[in-house]
């Protein structure tokens, strides 16, 4: 009698991580498909694995059960494939999808903390304690909510990943209107921030060099414009890293240095004796209109402190996503860690700086005040270390804010040629972009001083558009709390954007509130 061969186990190969969940709850968990009731009986919608139920598996032997369980997992993946654009494999934002929660934390922290934190005490000097703390707290939690919205909307439509902010705006507002609404503020946030970082980084390199060299550097020192050029050259060298995931190490350096210099400036400020005649009332101005517009400009400065939402979808698109392991889970974990540290940087700088200098705060911010009031009390080594940390932070920030612009350049090239950029073409794009920012910075050296105006112009990207996108894509029940809440936040964001922009323009023209970065006398 012939022996029957043992049953072979068939293993189904795992599907590449290119799928996306169909239904998500606000907590990030997958929810079952909705039940439909027909004739008083509830029935579950069919899925590729719905025929493999526990009742069906119970009478089957163990080997066959394992085969069917493997098949069930395979069908769960295959049944929810994401349609990928082949061009994405050629572009710097999406060519590498091996990101994780750690990378998300590094990138968000690098994008969220920067030079704009140093001018927060200036806003407090026009707002006072109550309005300053309340407005900073509201802005923090408001932008944290809109950050959660963007993370959830990344894969809001089954089979589609919105890898860029403009793509999500087009899905919500329409192809043409989405481009008009989102393209200018996102490009301005990326390119404008990069130009401002060149100005700040170049000036800080000059100050660091003068502090380190002392009297030895007085014979033939470089001019400020020449230091801009040196800083731009360093940025161009670092920009040759190919994609967003490849700069995770730079983002880590930028995040760590930003935390350190933010902590150093407020600790050094509060540890020194406060200046005489200090007061904590808002800066007195000659007329009601001057006070009103300065108040609005100060709110714009606070709004500008919370930037980086134009990079959220781009960061999330670097992560793999499957039905079982969607990308929004590690992204939200990393973002929560990043924004905890962002709060630990922004709030102490704003509150500690205002406590230390009150309404005597110079328009350049807390670093300017530290030099003006305590330059003889603090060692040159500590000041030089602070400047060096600022330089490292600016170099890292330039890379992550420039990546969307690099992506747009290469997307235009690949769509016309139907082939990826060569190393020389990619390098050429980045060299040209770096020097364009350099020339803009030289021609408009006051660009870094427009914190209030920039906060007003770019405020919708952070505070308004995500709320509108949630209503238009998720479509909550009309007149429900969710519907009213998001529409209200969105239109408030638009109104604040207009008011803060007007306040920023008026303050620059009439009050001379030009927030120049630290420049000693």
Residue 113 is given by DSSP the state S
Short-list 237, 225, 259, CA closest to 395: 237
Helix, strand or coil, per DSSP, at residue 35: strand
Whether pTM exceeds 0.85: no
Residues 26-43: what's their mean pLDDT? 40
Tokens representing 282 are: 């808002």
- Return the percentage of the chain with pLDDT > 70, whole number: 78
> Residue 448 pLDDT more than 50?
no
What are the pLDDT digits (tens) for 464-476? 999 999 999 999 9
Convert the pLDDT of each residue in 127-139 to its tens digit. Answer: 999 999 999 999 9
pLDDT at 38: 42
Is the pLDDT at 64 greater than 80? The verdict is no
The number of CA neighbours under 13 Å toward the Cβ of 480 is 8
Predicted pLDDT of residue 79: 43
pLDDT tens across 361-413, in order?
Answer: 887 788 888 878 887 788 888 888 988 999 999 999 999 999 999 998 999 99
Whose structure tokens read 């620059």?
Answer: 508
Residue 7's region, left for phi above 0, alpha for psi from -120 to 50, else beta, is beta
For residues 181 and 466, the answer to whether their CB atoms sit within 8 Å is no
Q: Does 58 score more than 90 pLDDT?
A: no
Higher pLDDT, 200 or 49: 200
User: Sign of the C-alpha dihedral, residues 437, 438, 442, 448?
Assistant: positive
Residues 235, 240, 244, 249, CA torsion sign: negative
- Judge whether residue 107 has pLDDT over 90: yes
Return the structure tokens found at 275. Answer: 């200046």
Identity of the highest mean pLDDT range in 135-144, 300-309, 414-423: 135-144
Residue 32 has pLDDT above 60, yes or no: no
| Average of per-residue pLDDT across 114-141 | 91
Give me the mean pLDDT over the 305-332 stretch: 88
Which is nearest to 317 in space by CA: 243, 371, 221, 211?
243
Closest residue by Cα to residue 240 from 18, 46, 429, 105: 429
Residue 52 has pLDDT above 50, yes or no: no
Q: What's the mean per-residue pLDDT of the chain?
A: 80
Q: Which of 57, 82, 88 is nearest to 70 (CA)?
A: 57
What CA–CA distance (Å, rounded) separates 254 from 234?
A: 15
What tokens appear for 207 in the block? 């100050």
Distance of alpha carbon 28 from alpha carbon 101, whole angstroms: 14
Q: How confident is the model at residue 173 (pLDDT cuts 50, 70, 90)?
A: very high
How many CA within 13 A on the CB side of residue 379?
Answer: 4
Pick from 151-160, 239-248, 326-335: least confident: 151-160
Tell me what the mean pLDDT of segment 285-311 comes to: 84
- pLDDT 10s digits, 476-488: 999 999 999 999 9
Give the Cα separation of 208 and 202 in Å (integer): 10
Average the pLDDT over 22-27 and give the result: 38
- State how far Cα 281 lies from the chain centre: 33
pLDDT at 521 over 60: no
Cβ proximity of 137 and 369 under 8 Å? no
CA 460 from chain centre, in angstroms, equals 14
- The DSSP call for residue 36 is E
Residue 9, pLDDT above cutoff 90: no
Q: For the segment 222-270, what is each residue's pLDDT rounded down to a tens digit?
A: 888 999 999 999 999 999 998 999 999 999 999 999 999 999 999 999 9
The confidence score (pLDDT) of residue 63 equals 62
pLDDT at 250: 93
Hey, what are 288's tokens? 């009601």
Judged against a pLDDT cut of 50, whether residue 152 lies above it is answered with yes
How many other CB atoms are found less than 10 A from the CB of residue 97? 21
Model pLDDT, residue 509: 67
Pairing of strands 35-38, 41-44: antiparallel
Place of tokens 């112009």: 457
Which of 185, 154, 149, 151 has its CA nearest to residue 167? 154
Residues 170, 517: contact at Cβ < 8 Å? no
460 is written with which tokens?
A: 């919708």
> Bigger pLDDT: 425 or 288?
425
The C-alpha atoms of residue 197 and residue 110 are separated, in whole angstroms, by: 13
- Confidence band (pLDDT; 50, 70, 90) for 330? very high
pLDDT category, 510, cuts 50, 70, 90? low
Q: Tell me: pLDDT of 60 over 80.
A: no
Residue 255: the pLDDT is 92
Given a contact cutoff of 8 angstroms between Cβ atoms, the answer to whether 123 and 132 are in contact is yes
What is the C-alpha separation between 307 and 189, in angstroms, rounded?
A: 8
Least confident of 80-94, 248-262, 439-453: 439-453
Share of the chain above pLDDT 90, in %: 41
Mean pLDDT of 293-319: 87
């Amino acid at each position: 009698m012939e022996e029957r061969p043992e049953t072979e186990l068939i293993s189904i190969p795992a599907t590449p991580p290119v799928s996306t969940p169909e239904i998500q709850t606000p907590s990030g968990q997958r929810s079952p498909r909705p039940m439909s009731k027909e004739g008083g009986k509830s029935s579950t919608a069919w899925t590729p694995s719905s025929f493999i139920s526990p009742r069906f598996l119970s009478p089957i032997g163990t080997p066959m059960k394992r085969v069917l369980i493997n098949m069930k997992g395979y069908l769960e993946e295959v049944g929810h494939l994401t349609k990928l654009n082949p061009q994405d494999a050629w572009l710097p934002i999406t060519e590498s999808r091996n990101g994780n929660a750690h990378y998300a934390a590094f990138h968000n922290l690098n994008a969220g903390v920067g030079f704009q934190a140093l001018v927060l005490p200036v806003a407090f000097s026009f707002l006072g304690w109550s309005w300053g703390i309340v407005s900073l707290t509201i802005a923090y939690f408001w932008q944290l909510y809109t950050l959660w919205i963007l993370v959830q909307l990344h894969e809001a439509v089954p089979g589609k990943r919105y890898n860029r902010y403009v793509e999500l705006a087009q899905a919500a507002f329409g192809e043409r209107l989405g481009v008009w609404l989102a393209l200018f503020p996102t490009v301005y946030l990326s390119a404008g921030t990069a130009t401002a970082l060149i100005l700040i980084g170049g000036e800080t390199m000059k100050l660091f060099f003068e502090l380190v060299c002392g009297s030895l550097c007085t014979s033939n020192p470089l001019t400020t414009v020449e230091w801009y050029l040196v800083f731009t050259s360093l940025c161009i060298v670092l920009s040759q890293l190919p994609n967003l995931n490849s700069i995770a190490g730079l983002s880590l350096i930028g995040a760590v240095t930003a935390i350190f210099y933010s902590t150093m400036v407020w600790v050094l400020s509060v540890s020194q004796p406060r200046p005489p005649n200090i007061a904590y009332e808002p800066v007195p101005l000659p007329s009601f209109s001057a006070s009103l517009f300065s108040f609005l400009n100060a709110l714009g400065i606070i709004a500008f402190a919370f930037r980086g939402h134009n990079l959220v979808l781009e960061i999330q698109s670097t992560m793999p996503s499957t039905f079982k392991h969607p990308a929004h889970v590690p992204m939200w974990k990393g973002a929560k860690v990043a924004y905890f540290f962002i709060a630990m940087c922004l709030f102490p700088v704003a509150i500690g700086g205002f406590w230390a200098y009150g309404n005597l705060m110079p328009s350049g911010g807390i670093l300017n005040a530290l030099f003006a009031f305590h330059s003889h009390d603090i060692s040159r080594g500590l000041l030089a270390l602070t400047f060096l940390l600022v330089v490292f932070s600016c170099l890292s920030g330039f890379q992550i804010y420039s990546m969307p612009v690099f992506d747009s350049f290469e997307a235009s090239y690949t769509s016309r040629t139907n082939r990826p950029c060569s190393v020389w073409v990619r390098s050429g794009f980045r060299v040209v972009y770096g020097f364009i920012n350099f020339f803009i910075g030289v021609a408009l050296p006051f660009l870094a001083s427009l914190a209030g105006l920039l906060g007003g112009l770019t405020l919708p990207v952070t505070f308004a558009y995500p709320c509108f996108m949630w209503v238009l894509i998720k479509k909550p029940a009309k007149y429900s709390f969710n519907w009213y809440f998001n529409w209200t936040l969105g239109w408030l964001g638009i109104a604040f954007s207009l008011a803060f922009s007007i306040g920023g323009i008026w303050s620059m023209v009439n009050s001379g509130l030009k927030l120049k970065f630290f420049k000693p006398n």
